[in-house]
Amino acid sequence: MVNKKTDIVIIGAGIAGLACAMKLKKNNRNFIIIEQSDRVGGRVGSIKENEYIFDLGFQVYNTEYYKTNSLLNLKELKLKVFKPGASIYNGRRFEILSDPFRDPSTILETFFSGMTTFKDKIKILTLKRALSSYCISEDQSEDMTTLKYLKSYGFSNKIINGFFKPFFSGIFLENQLETSSKFFKNVFSNFNKGYAAVPVNGMQAIPDQMVKNLNPHNLLLGNKVIEAKNPEKIVLENNEIIEAKYMVLTGGSNSLVNNHIVEFNSVRTFYFSSRVKVKHPKYINLFPYDSLINNIAILSSVAENYSPEGNTLFSITIIESDLSKSELIDIIQDKLSTYYGDEKSNYIFMKEINIKQATIKQKTGYFDLKIEDKKNILFAGDYTTYGSIEGAVVSGIKTAEKLISMSAQI
């Protein structure tokens, strides 16, 4: 028995699914989104507890995301930006390595930083200029690992190990910079022009705003799809059956038709609260000589709603560790005390978020792979473009445009 009929079914209410749905709605297409969890956003989201906001891992929104910006009301989101560059712990103290063109107060500290050579500073300027209008889909150059690319560009080991590795490892969520140089260039270009930011009320505010543009009747939350070999018969866990003409599989839902195996990097994020006031708190803090901690973001200093007034919320990113939760809590407290002062007992553990599927593994050659749509089954998600919120939105919009063209007779 068919319980519902529609023209298009989108499986997954992550960023790609929501972007696809927004475009379809704008073009008056009939659709239903099915999401197995009780929230929208997929890998982009937040948990709110006891006046704190805990994002699902340390996430940022880049203000240069052109396509995504066109879908959002940025004024309503109240984006709060990090300072460009980073505050790097050199083993004794923190050094600022920033963009003096956008952060003029740091021009002297950046120029005299021991984390770079004079040649590195010139190389960064030439790389900024070379990638100022970079487009990943138009890049026909030889692909290689990010590490090989940085070395071939002429950067010293000093800046590679002191800045590039910790900074981009925190984005890629892999420590060896094995990620495709094409993705590195895409990320570098965006950070060169835009700012890393978070909405004042957490990353969940982004998908929540997107879903507000949709009719609630088009969204089925808490409904898991157990069979979807074709759109004519989509079976839900509650035995409800939906019939459609076209089906969009986003993110991991592509496994319903065994189309493409997506590999992910994992991450463990620990949140601690303290009354400590950090110097230069609006920079992402990097730790190139720490074998455990990749980066620390002082979120409450960037967006005040992340913690109760007077408290400082630290987000600690750990990329690889087999240590237990209790072991890590004790070690992190020691490290926070060393890096920021005060007794370790004054750093209060708040939450661990262990994410097995955090970022897509985009190694050399990844962007040569082509995800082929089937006759009436289409695939969307950042794995079909490039791993980011913007990549997810681009894929969702492109998929919607295909559907609008294919279903002109609907």
CATH homologous superfamily of 46-81+197-202+264-360 = Protoporphyrinogen oxidase, mitochondrial; domain 2 (3.90.660.20)
pLDDT at 259 (0 to 100)? 66
Name the average pLDDT for the chain.
93
Q: Which two tokens stand for residue 318?
A: 């750990």
Name the burial class of residue 213, with classes exposed (0-12), middle (13-18) and buried (19+) by CB atoms within 10 angstroms of its CB.
Answer: middle
Round to whole Å and give the CA distance between 371 and 397: 16
Domain boundaries, the chain: 4-45+204-262+364-406, 46-81+197-202+264-360
pLDDT tens by residue, 341-390: 999 999 999 999 999 999 999 999 999 988 888 889 999 999 999 999 99
CA 202 to chain centre: 13
HEC states along the chain? CCCEECCEEEECCEHHHHHHHHHHHHCCCCEEEEECCCCCECCCCEEEECCEEEECCCCCEECCCHHHHHHCCHHHHCEEECCCCEEEECCCCEEEECCCCCCHHHHHHHHCCCCCCHHHHHHHHHHHHHCCCCCHHHCCCCCCEHHHHHHHHCCCHHHHHHHHHHHHHHHHCCCCCCEEHHHHHHHHHHHHHCCEEEECCCCCHHHHHHHHCCCHHHEEECCCEEEEEECCEEEECCCCEEECCEEEEEHHHHHHHCCCCCCEEEEEEEEEEECCCCCCCCCEEECCCCCCCCEEEEHHHHCHHHCCCCCEEEEEEECCCCCCHHHHHHHHHHHHHHHHCCCHHHCEEEEEEEEEEEEECCECCHHHCCCCCCCCEEEECHHHCCCCHHHHHHHHHHHHHHHHHHCCCC
Q: What is the pLDDT of residue 111?
A: 66
Give per-residue pLDDT as tens, 71-94: 999 999 999 999 999 999 999 999
Q: Per-residue pLDDT for 1 more than 60?
A: no
pLDDT of residue 2: 57
> pLDDT-based confidence at 210, cuts 50/70/90?
very high
Q: Is the pLDDT of residue 256 over 90?
A: no
313 compared with 116, residue with greater pLDDT: 313
pLDDT digits (tens, 9 = 90+) for 170-191: 999 999 999 999 999 999 999 9
Cα–Cα distances in angstroms (integers) from residue 236 to residues 4, 7, 82, in the given order: 11, 17, 42
The per-residue pLDDT for range 315-354, each reduced to its tens digit, is 999 998 999 999 999 999 999 999 999 999 999 999 999 9
- pLDDT of 152 above 90: yes
Question: Across residues 142-156, what is the average pLDDT?
Answer: 97
**Domain 4-45+204-262+364-406 CATH assignment equals 3.50.50.60:** yes
pTM: 0.95
Mean pLDDT of 274-297: 96
Average pLDDT, integer, range 273-297: 96
**Measured distance CA(12)–CA(224) in Å, rounded:** 9
Does the pLDDT at position 253 exceed 90? Answer: no
Which residue is listed with tokens 């690319």?
149
Q: Which pLDDT score, from 0 to 100, does residue 349 have?
A: 98
The total number of residues written for the chain in this structure: 410
Is residue 294 pLDDT above 70, yes or no? Answer: yes
